[in-house]
A and B are shown apart, each in its own frame.
Chain A
Amino acid sequence: MQSYHIFSDCALINGAIYFGLSVLCVFIIMAFAGLSVVAERKVCAYIQGRWGPNRTAIAVVEDIPFVGNFLKKNGLMQLAADGLKFLLKEDPLPKHVKKIWYMLAPVMALAPVLIVAGVIPFGVYWQDGRAYPVSIANIDISLLVALAVGGLGVYGAIMAGWSSNSKYPYLGAMRAAAQVISYELAMGLSVLPVILMASYNGVSALSIFEIAKMQSGDVWLCMLQPLSALIFLVALFAETNRLPFDMAESETDFVSGYHTEYGSFKFGLFFVGEYGHVVVGSALFIALFLGGWDPLPGCDWPSSWGIVSTLLSVATFLVKVAFMVVFFIWIRWTVPRFRNDQVMTLGWKCLVPLAALNFVAYLIYTSIA
């Protein structure tokens, strides 16, 4: 089975195109991460009755009619200022850290996110009557890759906490590790019914694309498997270290958690990594449970429109990701954070058994039906 698209007969050109696409994919994820930082500040401000960043302006851009004002009022030029600040600030290397791991940790926090982005199907295109995902790599076990590599992100936090050689980062890292272990389990268990369902439908059950395609023009999986979707979503919040589960950072008790000792660009990488994780996590959730690139349940972009449908599907997917990111932010500014023991209780005593029960219940249901 041909699992990836061949643009040209020449392997070199093909490789070059794939390289270009990968860069584009990284660029899109980065852009989304940057925009979610702005969205975070804006949404939180609006919820708290403030305006948020609306004064930062770049001299020439500001004077463009309409656009300039739009960018300024929506804090989009603040993004440039933030980015520049991270780039230009002094990059201190504390004396007491373990240097190699200390330097490696931010990379470790960001890299898994970008790798996972490679298997996310951002849309669909058709060739010779067959559908292919708009993704860098179309592999049959993309769901496994996404779960496994996505879970690696926590190594960034652990490395950072360990190598920082100071107490708060260390505690933050330990909590991150404990949290990821417990919620990874719940997450894995919660997708089992989905995988089972996909395999009953006779599709390659471990491929995100196939699962998404299964929902295309049909009901979405979040309606068929609401409990799975809920557990997956909660686990996703924990995985991405977002409030109400920000045990690893918890400014209230650990200064800033595992990246306390970091500054400037290295901190920026952690920051982008965190938001990148949110973006990729949202994309995963959408592909698995929210109908992928379908605009509404039960209606999809017809394959007869060809390239137009492809573009529309990608656009739909990205819009959904944007909504999902806003939902993440919305939750963050609504739900107060849990204590560590509450997080553990919720994970081990609630989500894991519930996910297992859900799976067993689905098994029984399908074997009877």
Chain B
Amino acid sequence: MAIIVERKRLSFWERTYLPQILSGLYITLKNFFAPKVTLEYPDQQPVIPQGYRGAPVLVCDSDGRHKCVSCQLCEFVCPSKAIKVTPSAIPEDSQYAFIEKGPADFQIDMSRCIYCGLCQEACPEQAIFMGSEFSINAYTRAGLVRHKDDLYKIGGVVPDKIMKWQKIKEREAK
């Protein structure tokens, strides 16, 4: 059923349109002096919310062990082929030599990454995380490719509750 909307009959002053202009001017004047919402970005940094998914980075556990075991699952899953892992053995003299593998180099090409987070999901070691970094600049393409050391440096430490490798080591020691 059609609804007939009763139009309010405008008063004489409303039809002159002038009171509306005046009230409009008042509103814009109030806005003029209202605090500004603009974040002056490079000078002021935004507050990054919890759970923000920024650039993927590598992390260490609380013992400072590099967690990545270069299984290359992230490399396979990455839809934009941004990750390139160069696996190698862990040096004999390292206390983590029993883990067998670690990356010689781990590259994430930030000019390719689409921040999908699949690498984080795929990683069996919880070694790669989406960090809180959101502004990534470089003057060259090569500058956008991040290497292992940088990735670990930016990633920092993520405390590991399970400490799987420590347990394995203890078991083997027994």
User: Which of A40-48, A74-82, A127-135, A157-165 lies at the interface with chain B?
Assistant: A40-48
Residue on B with the closest CB to A332?
Answer: B28
Query: Are A334 and B27 interface neighbours, CB within 8 A?
Result: yes
Q: B25 near A51 (CB under 8 angstroms)?
A: no
At the interface, yes or no: B47 with Cβ under 8 Å from chain A?
Answer: no
Q: A331-B25, A334-B24, A335-B21 are in contact. Are A51 and B38 (CB under 8 A)?
A: yes
Of the residues A50, A330, A331, A333, contact of B37 by C-beta under 8 Å: A50
Asked if A65 is at the interface of the complex by the 8 Å CB criterion, the answer is no
A202 within 8 A of B: no
With beta carbons under 8 angstroms apart, the residue of A43, A54, A331 that contacts B32 is A43
How far is A43 from B25 in the complex, measured between Cα atoms in Å?
A: 13
Contacting residues of chain B (22-72) with chain A, CB-CB under 8 angstroms: 24-25, 27-29, 31-32, 34, 36-38, 40
Residue of B nearest to A48 (CB): B31
Would A49 and B37 be within 8 Å (CB), given that A334-B21, A335-B21 are in contact? yes
- Asked if residues A47 and B24 are in contact (CB atoms below 8 Å), the reply is no
Per-position binary interface string of chain A over residues 333-349, scored 1 when its CB falls under 8 Å from any chain B CB and 0 otherwise: 11100000000000000
Residues of chain A lying within 8 A (CB to CB) of residue B24: 334-335
Among B28, B31, B36, residue most surrounded by chain A Cβ atoms (within 10 Å): B28
Whether A334 pairs with B28 at a CB distance below 8 angstroms is yes
Q: Is the CB of B36 within 8 A of A47?
A: no
| Residues A49 and B36 in contact in the complex (CB < 8 Å), given A334-B21, A335-B21 | yes
Instruction: Scan A43-70; emit 1 where CB is below 8 A from any B CB, else 0.
Output: 1001111110010000000000000000
Within 8 A of B (CB), among A269-284: none
> In the assembled complex, which residues on chain B have CB atoms less than 8 Å from the CB atom of A49?
31, 34, 36-38
Q: Bound state CA distance, A334 and B24, in angstroms?
A: 6
Complex Cα–Cα for A221 and B78 (A): 75
The answer on a CB contact under 8 Å between B40 and A51 is: yes
Residues of A with C-beta under 8 A to B40: 51, 54
Q: Judge whether B21 and A46 touch: CB under 8 Å.
A: no
Which B residues lie within 8 Å of A47 (CB)?
Answer: 28, 31-32
The answer for the CA separation of A5 and B72 in the assembled complex, in Å, is 90
In the complex, the answer to whether B28 meets A330 with C-beta atoms within 8 Å is yes
The distance in angstroms between the C-alpha atoms of A76 and B24, with both chains bound, is: 28
Query: Contact between A46 and B25 (Cβ–Cβ < 8 Å)?
Result: no
Which chain B residue has the least Cβ–Cβ distance from A346? B17
Q: How large is the interface on B (under 10, 10 to 19, 20 to 34, 35 or more residues)?
A: 10 to 19
A46 and B31 contacting across the interface, CB-CB below 8 Å: yes
Chain B residue numbers with a CB within 8 Å of A43 are: 32
| A51/B36 in contact, CB under 8 A | yes
Cα of A47 to Cα of B21 in the assembled complex, Å: 15
- Complex partner residue of A50 from B21, B27, B29, B38, CB under 8 angstroms: B38
In the complex, chain B residues whose CB is within 8 Å of the CB of A330: 25, 28-29
Q: Min CB distance, A32 to chain B, in Å?
A: 21
Q: Which residue of A lies closest to B35 (CB)?
A: A49
Question: Of B24, B27, B34, which is in contact with the most chain A CB atoms at under 10 Å from its CB?
Answer: B24
Residue of B nearest to A230 (CB): B18
In the assembled complex, the CB of B27 is this many whole angstroms from the nearest CB of chain A, namely 7
Interchain CA distance A333-B71 in the complex, whole Å: 59
Asked if residues A50 and B36 are in contact (CB atoms below 8 Å), the reply is yes
CA distance A333 to B34 in the complex (A): 15
CB of A144 to closest CB in B, whole Å: 30
* CB atoms of A46 and B27 under 8 A apart: no
> CA separation between A54 and B29, bound complex, in Å?
21
* Chain A contacts for B38, CB-based, 8 A: 49-51
Chain B residues with CB under 8 A of A335: 21, 24
Report A91 CB to chain B, min CB distance, Å: 32
What is the CA–CA distance of A51 and B27 in the complex, to the nearest angstrom? 18
- 6 smallest CB-CB distances across A and B, nearest first, come from A334-B24, A334-B28, A49-B37, A47-B28, A46-B32, A50-B38
A-B contact pairs, 19 of them (CB 8 A): A43-B32, A46-B31, A46-B36, A47-B28, A47-B31, A48-B31, A49-B34, A50-B37, A51-B36, A51-B38, A51-B40, A54-B40, A331-B21, A334-B21, A334-B24, A334-B25, A334-B27, A334-B28, A335-B21
Query: Could you list 9 further interchain pairs (A-B, Cβ under 8 angstroms) beyond the known A50-B37, A330-B28, A334-B25?
Result: A43-B32, A46-B32, A47-B28, A47-B32, A48-B31, A49-B38, A50-B36, A51-B36, A54-B40
Q: Which residues of B contact A (CB under 8 A)?
A: 21, 24-25, 27-29, 31-32, 34, 36-38, 40
